[in-house]
Structures are given as C-alpha cells and as structure tokens.
Chain A
Amino acid sequence: MTVLAILATLLLSGVSDAQAQQPFRAKGKEFKDVVKYIETQFGVRKTHIPMLGLANFAFKLIRPAGVKGFKLAVFEDADFSNHPGNLSFNSFMREAYRKDWQPLVRVNSKREGNVQTYIYARNAGKDVQFAIVTFEEREAVVMEVKFNPDAAARFMDNPKIMGISIGNSIRGGGADIAGNNTGRAPSRRTPPDPSPRSGDIDSINVDHVGGAGPSSAPSARPSLNGTTSDERHPVLSGESNNRSSLPEVNADLPGSAAANDREAIRIETRLVNLNVKAVDKAGQPLKSLRQEDFLIYEDGVRQEMTHFRPVNAPVNLILMLDLSGSTKKSRDRMVDAARKFIDALPAQDRIALVAFTRKYRTLADFTSNEALLKQSIEKIRKISGGTAFYDSMWEALDNLDQISDARKAIVVLTDGEDESLVGSEETNHSFDDLLGRASEEDVTIYPIYFSASNHYNKLGVLFGGSLGVGPDSQKRTAREQLGLLAEQTGGEVISTRRQEDLDDAYRRVASEIHTLYSLAYSPDKTKHNGEFRRISVKLNRDGAIARTRKGYIDK
C-alpha cells in the first residue's frame, strides 16, 4: 500500500497549479475521497441519516428497480459557495474516480447559487455504477449507486418491488408513480372533499318557549355575534347589517343551567365563506363595491348575505416560507423578497411569519410591526430540513381560526413537494383533507411556486429529460396541488423559477390580496346529502363580473 501511495503521489505530482493548492489529495478511494475532501475543505461533518445502513441492506436484498446498493453522504449548513471551483474540483474528482470511471456530466450554474453537479460512471460487469456529487450554497451531496441496467429497464416497463406492482410503465413521461406508490399521499385526481368542517357549523341551544316549536325553528336564524364553545373555530363577528334583521333568539350556551333545565332544540346553520374578486369589462379589479352590489345564489336560489368585508379591510396574513433543502440556495433572495413584501402591504395588515420544514415554526406572531418582522426573517438563514407542506398548511389554518375579526390569507413560498409525495415521511393530514378544509375556510391562499432545478435529476441531461420518474413527476403533482388550493380559496398561484423573480411574485400577491371581497352566507336549506351545491355571485353593475369558487359539497 505504501508503494502504491508513493506511486500515486508521484503520478499526481504533475498536475495543475490549482490542484497543487489543494490541501487534500485524492487517493483513488472514490466515495471516501470525496467525503473526506468535503469534510476537510469545509470543516463539516456529514449529516447523520437514520436507518441508512438498514436501507442499504434492504436495497442489496430486494434490489428494487435493479438497484443493488448505494452510498450516500449529505452535508448541510455549511457555506459551499466558496469551494475551490469548478476546474480544481473536477481535477480532484478525476483523481478520486480513476480506475474505469468515466466523467459523464459536469454542470455549473452560478445563476442559481453556484450549483455544481458532477456525474461519473463505470461498468461493473453486468452492472453500472454512478457517482454523483452536487454542491449547492449550503448543501453538498455525494452519492454512489450500483444497479443492473437491464433490471432497471424492466422496472421502468413494469414497476414492481418484491412482486408488488407500484404502477404502470414509467417510461415516456406519461405515468406517475409518485401518485401511486405512497398509499399515504392522496392522488390529486381524487375529487377533493370541500364539505364544511364541524367548525363551520354554529350550534346553539334555543329555548322552546312561546309556541316556537320545531316547525318554526328553521326560520329562526341564530345570532352570529357570539362565540361557540369551540374556541378553535370561533364564529365570525361580522359587520353585516343583516344581523339586525335576524329574529331575536334567546340563546344559552351549552352547559349553562338554563340550557340544562329546559328542553332544547338544536339548530344548525352553516356559514359558507366566499372570497370574491370583482372585475370590470376590461378585467380591472373593482375595489369600491358595497354589500348591496353583490347577489349570492346557491343552486340558482338567492341567498341572504350575512357577512361582508370590503377589499380594503385589514388582512391577517401568514407569510410561510418553505425552508427545505431545495430552497437552501435561495435564502438570501428569500429574505430580501420577504422584506419587500412586508413593505408592500398596507400598514394595517397584520403579518405572522412562519418557517416550515418538517416542523412548523412561528418566527413572529401576528403583528404590524415591520421592524420586528424584518428582524425575525433573518432567522430563516439557519433553518433547514424536509417539507411537511400539508401539515404545515393545516397548522396555519388552525392559527388563522383563532382570529375572528379580519380577513385572512396565507402566502406560502414553496415548491409544494410534501415529503409524502416521495413516500419518505408520514403526514398527519392528506392533501385531500387540506383541500377540503381550505375550501371551507375564509382564508385565501396564495402559493408562490418556487422551483429551481433539482440536482438529483441531472441524469435527465443524458436521457433528454424524457423519463417521467422522480422529481419531475413530483413537481407536476405539487404544482397541480398548489393550483387547486389557490382555486378553491379565491387565490392565485404565482410561479417563478428564478430567484430574481421573487420580488415580482411577492409584489403581485401584495397587489392581489386587496382586490378580494369577503362574503358569507347561511344557506337557506341544508340537506347534508353529499350533493354539490353550485354557487354563483352576480354584481348589479353593468359588465361587472364576480369570480369565486364554484361551490361546495353539502355533507
């Protein structure tokens, strides 16, 4: 070994100046060399990945998709933007991957935060080995994978693991195994359940007095000025003038002595919340409409509006930032864009700042204090992790449920790729759960879809990007889910691929938020039969158009 080491040193002595400056020299040990290089050069230790050894063993045993084994090292939370550079690291890679290895791909993009990808490959009998090394601003990944190409090709034709089919052919970009293989991740094709949650049903006890029997009860609308026992879902204390026209109801809260002592009739009313955008013939927002300008219809029957909020009503807004690894390289730009977004909102709007990975972190609670918000946003530089998108959105809706006296919105910067889409993590709430709930809340959701390139899919360069597997498939699903969330809540998805476009995306959202009216009504009849109730909103202005969600399921 010593002789070999000396020979190797001699062989390497004639390399370029750039190489000569490197304090760490490759020893032809491939994966180990690169890991050591990163640890030495950047003073960082590889991230511990639970169960990695077991997973590797399972791969060797089961050989899913022809994969016979892999090595993986992930380095996080270090500044990889200052690594020695494309040329010198490429030279290092050539030294580390000498015997039989061929350099296949070397890609560098400084536009996206100095992202670098190196792919080497070699034949190993009937198998092939790929070595992939990527650097992003704050993350580096070293991976080697060995697989049988024939088995992998068969897997693509007929995806099976241990004899269990996990979908149709995944060649040609047509199929979507991401939607089929998780079991937990709901398919986006499954119709959402936009039926109201229990929190949207106001229950009160009404005294059975003075001949007001059950037959008259439906006409007795409850006052919406109180609170329910369920504080997580307080009723709206709206500004509607209609409240005064409602029949007077002598209500006792559940559990009170009066309620217990007398026979009670339970009346349920449902509030249907609508976020409505009104535009003129030219598509320009109409911002000065009044309550009487709106006419609400459910299945063609005029409904009585119970709540109205104009476009300039203050908004309680949660600004959510996806801090998964995929957004790491964009942190500086995210901080800058979020600051500008805070500036762009009216002073009376209250903003809560939330960062989410697998955890939901409130960095700043609802406040109009811009300085505090801007200070809090700096915290995101140190946060990184996975993406529990559905659960985080659910928690944000919980937070907004605490607020009863303002319009509400969620602005979420994300690639939308919940980890359940790749089956790597369980979720407490499925996408269908989330969509169903969001459909009934009076919260407008504005996803800013921010999806930069994904280094794990660089092999697409070799195959023309024609394979419908992996990240591309998940991205499509994620993008569609974001679209559904926006559509059902009166919001809008704004897509951006480049960090440079984030400012503009936020600016559009800030402008859009204050073009919506918030309305609510209690349907004159509810059957709870699971039928779809069609909603339309009309304006009594010539040529004016109101846009809102199409309806809900009466469940």
Chain B
Amino acid sequence: MTRLMNKAQAMIGLAVLLCLGSATAGAQNARLQVDHLDKLFPNAVETIDVSLEGSLLQIASKFLSNKPEEAAIKELVSTLKGVYVKGVEFDKDGSISESDVEAIRTQLKSPGWERIVGVRSKRDGENTEVYLMLEGGIISGIGVLVFDPKQLFVVNVVGPIDPEKIGQLRGHFGVPKGLDLDFGGTRRK
C-alpha cells in the first residue's frame, strides 16, 4: 500500500505541477473517462481512485504551506478544476490488456490532445505517456498514462496551464530531471 501511495503521490505531484498557470475556459473536455477500469478492481491487489475537484480542491490547497515547493502546488491548485487518479496493480503479468489501455489512448488521440512524451522501458516493460490538451495555444489539461503488464495508472489534471512554469518543475515531485518538457511543439521522446 505504501508503495502504491508513494506512487500515487508522485504521480499527482507530476501531473499537478505540470499544471501551473493562468485561468482559461473550456477545460472540461480534458476530463478523461476511465470508469472502465473499475471492472479490474475486484481482482487487483492494489487499487486507487482519487477524484479531487472544484471547491474541495481549493480546500485541499489551504493545507499546503508557503514553503517554495508546496507554494508552487498551492498556486497551481488555485486555478485547477480537477485532479483524477485511477490505478490498478496486479500480482501477475498479463493482467492489463491492450484494450484497457487503448480505451484511454483513443480518448487521448481525439482532437485537442497532443502526445508530448512517450517513454518505454525495455528493462521492466513500463510505458509512460504524457499528453496535453491544447485549446487556442493554451494547455487546458494533462493526461499521464503509465502501464506495464502488471499495472495501469492514469492521472488526469483538468485546468489551465502555464507552460513557461513547467520547466521549473523538473527534478521535483516526481518530475524526472531528464524529462524534456518543451511544449513549443509536439515532441516524442
């Protein structure tokens, strides 16, 4: 459970911190539908499902301090509309099917979404994909998809984003130092 929690926290940190920025409208389309993963829950050894949105998200931000690291999250949360995490982990390989992943990918391939990061580890088979929802040149949502044969995690942050601040986040809160976050164009890594 601790491992799951840490992972979830890191992923929330990654996704939330990617979303620093100014307000914009029309962010609701960035919400991913991942309810189909619920069917995997009964047989998974660990599951997590977090939905933090609206005023409760603002309330959560009140419990963060003004230390630089937490202040960044606090500033971010003030403009966000929602943070959603859903994840399942199994004991055995092969528990995650391609269709489970494709159901999410299909949404992330729809108009407005751009894939900016795709990392595949041959060593442990883990895949990480990061998508941005772009509306009028402004980022209004982020989708992070992490999966391997045993686990599948989806982090979805809905809200306005200031791309200029994203680079500052490398090396903090689970954002890899080497992650290339140049949002001037669509890049694949």
Say whether A161 faces chain B, with CB atoms less than 8 Å apart.
no
The one of B50, B56, B65, B73 that contacts A171, using a Cβ cutoff of 8 Å: B65
Say which size band chain B's interface belongs to: 35 or more
CB distance from A346 to the nearest CB of B (A): 35
Cα A136 to Cα B73 with chains together (Å): 32
Which residues on the A side are within 8 Å of B59 (C-beta)? Answer: 123, 128, 149
Say whether B179 faces chain A, with CB atoms less than 8 Å apart.
no
Which of B3-11, B95-103, B117-125, B130-138 sits within the interface? B3-11
Q: Are A109 and B63 in contact (CB under 8 A)?
A: no
For chain A, residues 139 to 155, give those with C-beta under 8 angstroms from any C-beta of chain B: 149-150, 152-153
Cα A156 to Cα B64 with chains together (Å): 10
Q: Are A152 and B55 in contact (CB under 8 A)?
A: no
On whether A461 and B2 interact (CB within 8 A), knowing A104-B56, A107-B49, the answer reads: no
CB distance from A119 to the nearest CB of B (A): 9
A106-128 toward B: CB 8 Å interface, digit per residue (1/0)?
Answer: 11111110010000010100001
The one of A106, A152, A153, A497 that contacts B48, using a Cβ cutoff of 8 Å: A106
CB distance from A364 to the nearest CB of B (A): 33
Q: Are B12 and A464 in contact (CB under 8 A)?
A: yes
Q: Are A85 and B42 in contact (CB under 8 A)?
A: yes
Which residues on the B side are within 8 Å of A109 (C-beta)? Answer: 1, 4, 45-47
Q: Are A464 and B13 in contact (CB under 8 A)?
A: yes
Say whether B23 faces chain A, with CB atoms less than 8 Å apart.
no
Chain A: residues with Cβ within 8 Å of the partner, total of 37
Which residues on the A side are within 8 Å of B173 (C-beta)? Answer: 464
For chain A, residues 406 to 461, give those with C-beta under 8 angstroms from any C-beta of chain B: 452-453, 460-461
Say whether A265 faces chain B, with CB atoms less than 8 Å apart.
no
Cα A172 to Cα B65 with chains together (Å): 6
CB distance from A31 to the nearest CB of B (A): 19
Which residues on the B side are within 8 Å of A452 (C-beta)? Answer: 1
The one of A102, A105, A497 that contacts B53, using a Cβ cutoff of 8 Å: A102
The listed residue with most A CB atoms (<10 A of its CB), out of B42, B49, B63, B64, is B63
Q: Are B63 and A153 in contact (CB under 8 A)?
A: yes
On whether A104 and B51 interact (CB within 8 A), knowing A128-B56, A152-B62, A464-B73, the answer reads: yes
CB distance from A524 to the nearest CB of B (A): 52
Cα A109 to Cα B67 with chains together (Å): 32
Q: Are B9 and A112 in contact (CB under 8 A)?
A: no
The one of A104, A112, A152, A156 that contacts B50, using a Cβ cutoff of 8 Å: A104
Closest Cβ neighbor of B174 among chain A residues: A464
Q: Are B1 and A462 in contact (CB under 8 A)?
A: no
A155-177 toward B: CB 8 Å interface, digit per residue (1/0)?
Answer: 01000000000000101100000
Binding site for A on B (CB under 8 A): 1-2, 4-6, 8-9, 12-13, 38, 41-42, 44-56, 59-60, 62-65, 67, 70, 73, 173
Binding site for B on A (CB under 8 A): 85-87, 102-112, 115, 121, 123, 128, 149-150, 152-153, 156, 169, 171-172, 452-453, 460-467, 497
CB pairs A–B below 8 angstroms (24 shown): A85-B42, A86-B41, A103-B51, A104-B50, A106-B49, A111-B45, A111-B46, A123-B55, A123-B56, A123-B59, A156-B65, A171-B67, A172-B65, A172-B67, A453-B1, A453-B2, A460-B9, A461-B5, A461-B50, A463-B63, A463-B64, A464-B9, A464-B173, A466-B65
What 11 additional pairs, Cβ within 8 angstroms, besides A110-B45, A153-B63, A172-B65?
A85-B42, A102-B51, A104-B51, A123-B59, A152-B62, A171-B63, A171-B70, A460-B9, A461-B12, A462-B50, A463-B60
